[in-house]
Amino acid sequence: PTPLGPTPKLVIDLERMQQLPQEKAGPLARYVATIQSQRGDYNGRVLSIRQEDLRSLAVIYDRSPSDLTEELINWGVLDPEARRAVDAF
Ligand code: C2E
Ligand code: C2E
Ligand code: C2E
């Protein structure tokens, strides 16, 4: 095992997100689209989001941030490394 580095970033896999059924990914996709539009960042295969945005998404999905993180990892949208970013909350 590699030593723990700095807190990992929350990086959304946009290709994977687009493959998910609408009823799962819909709220996430709308949130991500808003951030892309605010940044003018439309061409990436991934999007780095703020930690506070994961908190907002957890409210939207009516889950705790760590539960939502597990779900996003299960969907393949977040890397398992993201667990450490949420532990740092
Ligand atoms: P803002 O929060 O006032 O940020 C202004 C600019 O500061 C951003 O312009 C960006 O160039 C830089 N900036 C702020 N925080 C960070 C950061 O954590 N990392 C990096 N790399 N740069 C940062 P930008 O990207 O054009 O965004 C414009 C506005 O759009 C932001 O104003 C904010 O209100 C919103 N926004 C953009 N991305 C996000 C996001 O991921 N989450 C949220 N909640 N808002 C975002
Ligand atoms: P990183 O943060 O590990 O990102 C690796 C690559 O993932 C980036 O390579 C880019 O192709 C993609 N990527 C990550 N987040 C986003 C995103 O929100 N939007 C888009 N469109 N692509 C994303 P890239 O651009 O060659 O950057 C290489 C490294 O340079 C980044 O590694 C990061 O360490 C640094 N970097 C680039 N832009 C910024 C920035 O705005 N702020 C900071 N702090 N570092 C940056
Ligand atoms: P990053 O650019 O490598 O920034 C890492 C952390 O440094 C951010 O974590 C935030 O805590 C702090 N930081 C960087 N720039 C600023 C700033 O201008 N103002 C403030 N108050 N803090 C700043 P955070 O917020 O969790 O964001 C994670 C990553 O999401 C950022 O990594 C960046 O890739 C992306 N991001 C977040 N907000 C923005 C934004 O407004 N515009 C862009 N282009 N990227 C953003």
Chain segment 11-35, per-residue pLDDT in tens: 999 999 999 999 999 999 999 999 9
Contact 58, 68 (CB under 8 A): yes
- pLDDT tens track for 49-67: 999 999 999 999 999 999 9
For the chain, where are the E strands, in sequence order?
10-13, 46-49
Q: Ligand 2: which atom is nearest the Cα of residue 11?
A: 15
Q: What pLDDT sits at residue 5?
A: 78
Greatest C-alpha distance within the chain: 38
Q: How far is the CA of 40 from the centre of ligand 3 (A)?
A: 15
Burial of 41 (0-12, 13-18, 19+ CB in 10 A): exposed
Domain ranges of the chain: 10-87
Segment 30-52 shows an average pLDDT of 97
Q: Give the integer Cα–Cα distance in Å for 27 and 24.
A: 8
Q: Assign domain 10-87 to a CATH class.
A: mainly alpha
